[in-house]
Amino acid sequence: MRKYLVFNMPDDNNDFILANHGPDFYFILLDINNKLRSFLKHGHKFDTADDALLYMQDFIHQEMIDRDVNLDMVN
């Protein structure tokens, strides 16, 4: 069985981008979850909550760069 997604361009451009890059965002979320689980299981060396938040923000930005996606892809 085959399934097709049909987009009427340019009206459906945002939906196309999200469908096309959905796996990238899924794997970014998976990596974030794994990183947080690792910190909870094995501990971390952050001095403050702000340090941890800044680390995770940088981690997310790097994951998005590595997968060539960003939050401004859709309007």
Contact in structure between 12 and 43 (CB atoms under 8 Å) = no
Banded model confidence at residue 38, pLDDT cuts 50, 70, 90:
very high
Q: How confident is the model at residue 75 (pLDDT cuts 50, 70, 90)?
A: confident
SS (H, E, C) the chain: CCCCCCCCCCCCHHHHHHHHHHHHHHHHHHHHHHHHHHHHHHCCCCCCHHHHHHHHHHHHHHHHHHCCCCCCCCC
Which pLDDT belongs to residue 45? 95
Over residues 7-16, mean pLDDT: 96
Question: How is the chain split into domains, by residue range?
Answer: 44-70
Q: In a 3-state reduction of DSSP, which class is residue 43?
A: coil
Q: What is the pTM of this model?
A: 0.86
Closest CA to 74 of 5, 2, 7: 7
